[in-house]
Structures are given as structure tokens and as C-alpha cells.
A and B are shown apart, each in its own frame.
Chain A
């Protein structure tokens, strides 16, 4: 990856451009792009965590925690500000991630996935039976505002949400690229390759996994806040395993090589979903399934492999990173 690094300032410019583009987009694409950005944020978290070799099948837990946290605070104290809500969601997800992270950092592979799935289903089961939170029907929240501005025009409100979610996801993407190049990011790859050797080198594999897990949880919590603002309604489905499955779907579609690929994959998924919803209303899951199989079969390294060519095509990503480091040192 070392041969064509974008400068963070260029990335910020790209994010600003994407945000302004929203002004020109038709209304239906705005809400679609908002959902895509929010899903991309969670998938980005999964990609970050996957660099340690662990895939979480329970990101719905943090997604729901963020959503419910925001919804409760919003209804109790009348907070409607979109940015504040996003921060509340991120904090809820992140705190929960910090509690759960150390517990499950000890597990790997399929057990890690199953445990995250189990925890999200515990949360789902609890939510369904909690009548104070509306049980399986959930409850509604008010329309979000921004910095004291109230948007009565639905188009303006949609654009506001689009802008906030795209900027947040874009900033998270930039943060992720910086993270990937940092010591922690490289150590994460080492954990995936062989966590015992990482321990021998004097680093704590559990701590590296926990930090990545908490970051992923924070992203998922913030995305939960966006989903809540977009739907103005929340229900336990946020924590159901099929919701989490979709996020992993986006991450696999994207592949683990490029941050930009996560956005492209998320947008592609939403487009496929809304078009098949439109033209094949009863078979959109079928289309999604075939799409997923096609990507796994023909693009085994994800959509990102379409443009991340690289000289290290045949080398495992982790080995590639090590090779880059070695070149840099010489």
C-alpha cells in the first residue's frame, strides 16, 4: 500500500466534495446515501477489527446500543441536535465495547464470531421483552436539528442528515487510514498472523484486540445514531443477527485492503437493494445472495482489489505490510 498514499488533506477535500455533491443529488438518493454512509461506518469498524484476524458477527449489539442510548436521551432531555446525538451514540457504543472487549479478546476465529453473535442476541432478547422500551415494536423519536437550526423542509432535513453522516464517516475513514499506518495498526496485522509471537515481542495481543474492538464498537454506536435519525424510530431488529450479518456482508464485499472500498461496497449494496426492491420486490434477498456469492467467487479480495493493484498481489496483506516497512527502513 505504500506506493500511493493520499495525503490526509486530500482526503478531507474529497469528503468535502462528496458532501457538496449531495446538493445536486435527487432526494431519493440522499436518504439512500445516508444509510450507505452509516453502514459503511460499521463495516469500517469490522474491517479495523478484522485486521486482528477476528470478525464480529454481533456489531448489531453496538448499533442497537447507540440507537437506544440516543433515543432514550433524546426523549428524556429533548436533545435533537444531530451532532450531539451522534456523539452520544458513539459514546454508548464505545463504552459498551470497552466493557465487552477485554472479555472476548481472549477468543479467536469462529469462537470470537459466535460469542459476539451470542451477546448481541442476549441484548436482542432483552430488548424484545422490555416493555418499558416498547418491546418488539420499539418507539419513535423526534426530528433531528443541527446547531439550533430546525429543518421543516424534508429535503433540507435529508440533506442535513446526509451531510452529517457523510462527514462523520469520511472523518472516520481518514482516521482509519492513519490508524492502519500507525504502530497499533501494524501490530494488529501481526496479531492476525500469529498472536503468540506478538506476545513474545513484548506486546499484549489482548490489548491490541480490545482497542480495535472498542474503536469498531464506537463506530457502530455512531452509526446506530444515524440509523435512528434517518428512521426516527427504533426497535430490537437493530440487534438481530441478520442486521449484523449485513454489516459483515459490506465488509467482505469491500475486502480488507482499502478504506474507500468500504464506502463503494456500502453504496453498491444499498443500490442493489433499492433497485431490486423496486423491480423485484419479493426477491431482493435472492439478488443480494447471488451478488455476495459472485463477489466471493470472482473478487476474492473484495471490491477494493479492483483498484488497489499493488506489486504485492500474491503476498498476504500482512506480509506485504512487513515488506513495505523493510523497504522504508533501507
Chain B
């Protein structure tokens, strides 16, 4: 019994940060119709910036809680700036081109950011463990968990709810949905689509970077981080259906559980399982679990 509880809790912890990354990816795809390969790089960027912020805070003898807040604030600022800059300065030039071309543009951005992070933070592993002890250890059904890990679950759920609420229950969100649904019609109704695009992209970058910041205390930052994360979040959004918020949640939980189940039951199948689920979902429901079929144009 305990064993299954372990698997489920581990899976949910995994799912919590994966969901935040995938949410950003799915939003950017929904609004801009771009499958953003550079999304993993924004995750890595967030993690690196967080590490710098935490280290700086610790160097000034600030308590870990201040370091934690400083890390989130600095990551949010930098990520929004990077997102706006990239969308207005680069992506804008390629709108209207083939979706594969846009995908390659983001691939180029991925390559560039990969080296930029190496230039700034070097190739050696970086750690930022101070906030990890912030919430102590928690005993749960006879098992000991790091409090920080468990706190990630409600944080992620809150972010997910906020995004869902913002999209479905506010005027700004309705405008975004209108742009997703029909861009031309939105323009003719007076929506500033350019602004929606820029905001949506920056928000997607922000989500990836926040997820990076939240996981930074748990992991070691080193090159290759981004390419592993992007492939996981691809799997999640594909499982859930590209552009669907609910889908990203279900996909994240599925991938998180699959990961922890295979780590506990069959360690040699860990990587394999996730892509297998992704391939299976694509084969039987290519639109993902949560996307309605759309009529195709002849």
C-alpha cells in the first residue's frame, strides 16, 4: 500500500513542475500556432537565473525565504523581458510562414540560447540548494518527504487554476480565446492581435522559467538540461492535445506517474515508457486526449 502511495506522490511531485512547463508550451501553441522547441531553453534560463539569485542572496546572508522570493521575482522579470524581446524582435518576422519553418526558427533560438547559457554560466554543474530546506521534512503515511517537494504540488495546482480562470472567466482571457479561435475575425472586431501574441508568448516563457526556478533547488544545472525538458513537455502536450490546458494537466500527471512508476518498478524502462505513451496516444488519438476533432478543409 505504502509502495503505491510512494509512486503516486513521487509522480505528482514530478507532474507538478512538468505541468507548469507544459502549460506554457501549450498556451504558446494555442495562441501563436508555434511549437516552440526553445521552450526547454527558457526552463533552463529560469533555473540558471534562479541559481544566481539564490547564491547572491546567500552571499549577502539573507535568509532562505528571502532568497526564494528574490529568485522568483528576478526570474519573472528576466523571463518576461526575454519573451517580449524575442517575440517582437524575432518571431514577428516569420508570422505567416509554414509552421515547420516557425518550428525551425525556434530550433535556431534553442541552439543560440544553449550557447548563451554556457557563455554566462559555464559548463560546470551549478547548485542552488538553500531554499530546498525551507519547508523542512514532512512525515506522510510513514514516509519522509522534503517539504519543498510537496509544496510544489499546490503551487502548480494554483498556477493551473489561475490560468484556467484567467482564460475562461475574464475579459482578457476571452479575448485570447477569440484570437485562438479566429484571428481574422478578432482583428476585425478591434482586438490588437499583435499585443495578444506578444503577451501570450512572454507568458509562456514566464511559465517555463518559473518552473525552472521552482525546480532549481532540487537539481544541478548543467548543459543538456533544456533538451531533456523540452522532449518531456512535448510528450505531455501531445498526450493532452496541443493547445489544451486541461490536456496539459492530464498529460503531466500521466507522464509524472509513468516516470515514477517505472523508476520504482522497472528502472530500465524510464525514458522509454514516456515516449511509448506519447507514440501510443498519437497513433490512436493523434489530436491528443483532450482536443475536439475539427472539420478539415478540402
B111 touches A122 (CB 8 A): no
Contact A122 B276 (CB under 8 A): yes
Closest to B227 in A: A242
Given the interface pairs A55-B100, A103-B283, A107-B286, the reply to whether A125 lies near B275 with Cβ below 8 Å is yes
Report the separation of the CA atoms of residues A113 and B286 in the bound assembly, to the nearest whole angstrom.
12
The stretch among A11-19, A141-149, A287-295 that forms the contact with chain B is A287-295
Question: Which single member of B35, B107, B118 contacts A245 (CB below 8 Å)?
Answer: B107
> In the bound complex, what is the Cα–Cα distance between A286 and B110 (angstroms)?
9
Asked if A179 is at the interface (CB within 8 A of a chain B CB), the reply is no
Q: Is B278 an interface residue (CB 8 A)?
A: yes
How far is B110's CA from A110's CA once the two chains are assembled, in angstroms?
18
CB-based A-B contact count at 8 angstroms: 118
How far is A55 from B270 in the complex, measured between Cα atoms in Å? 28
Contact string against B for A residues 171-206, beta-carbon threshold 8 Å, 1 for contact and 0 otherwise: 000000000000000000000001011000000000
Asked if B93 contacts A252 (CB within 8 A), the reply is: no
- Is the beta-carbon distance between A292 and B104 smaller than 8 angstroms? yes
Q: List the one stretch of B19-27, B129-137, B160-168, B231-239 in contact with chain A.
A: B231-239
- Shortest Cβ distance from A199 into chain B, in angstroms? 11
Q: Number of B residues whose C-beta is below 8 Å from A?
A: 46
- Whether B104 and A125, one on each chain, are in contact in the complex, defined by CB atoms closer than 8 angstroms, is no
User: Are B282 and A111 in contact (CB-based, < 8 A)?
Assistant: yes
Is B272's CB under 8 angstroms from A286's CB?
no
Q: Is A129 a contact partner of B227 (Cβ separation < 8 A)?
A: no
121-164 of chain B: CB within 8 A of chain A: 123
Give 1 or 0 for each of A104-123: 1 = CB within 8 Å of chain B CB: 00010111011101110110
CB distance from A186 to the nearest CB of B (A): 21
Q: Is A128 an interface residue (CB 8 A)?
A: yes
Within the assembled complex, what's the spacing in Å between the Cα atoms of A111 and B123? 34
Instruction: Confirm or deny: A300 has a beta carbon within 8 angstroms of a beta carbon on chain B.
Output: yes
A208 at interface by CB-CB < 8 Å: no
Contact partners of B234 in chain A: CB under 8 A: 114, 117
Q: Which of A265-313 contact B (CB under 8 A)?
A: 282-286, 288-290, 292-293, 296-297, 300
Instruction: Please tell me if the beta carbons of B235 and A296 are within 8 angstroms of each other in the complex.
Output: no
Do A122 and B112 touch across chains, with their CB atoms under 8 A apart? no
Most buried by A among B119, B227, B272: B272
Q: Within the assembled complex, what's the spacing in Å between the Cα atoms of A296 and B93?
A: 10
- For residue A126, CB closer than 8 A to chain B, the reply is yes
Alpha-carbon distance between A132 and B275 when the two chains are bound, in angstroms: 21
Q: Which of A114, A128, A252, A297 contacts B271 (CB 8 A)?
A: A128
Chain A residues lying within 8 Å of B227, measured Cβ to Cβ, are 240-242
**A249 on the B face (CB < 8 A):** yes
- Across-interface contacts of A107 in B (CB, < 8 A): 282, 286
Give the number of residues in A that approach B within 8 Å (Cβ atoms). 42
Instruction: Let me know if B9 is at the binding interface, CB within 8 A.
Output: no
Asked if A248 is at the interface of the complex by the 8 Å CB criterion, the answer is yes
Q: Is A124 an interface residue (CB 8 A)?
A: yes
| Among candidates A110, A121, A283, A288, residue contacting B231 with C-beta atoms closer than 8 Å | A121
A115→B279 contact, CB < 8 A: yes
State the CA gap A35–B103 with chains docked (Å): 25
B residues near A, CB below 8 A? Answer: 35, 37, 90, 93-94, 97, 99-101, 103-105, 107-112, 114-116, 118-119, 123, 227, 231, 234-235, 238, 242, 268-276, 278-279, 282-283, 286-287, 298
8 A-B pairs with the lowest CB-CB distances in the bound complex, closest first:
A125-B271, A289-B111, A125-B272, A289-B112, A286-B115, A292-B108, A289-B108, A122-B275
Binding site for B on A (CB under 8 A): 55, 103, 107, 109-111, 113-115, 117-119, 121-122, 124-126, 128-129, 194, 196-197, 240-242, 245, 248-249, 252, 282-286, 288-290, 292-293, 296-297, 300
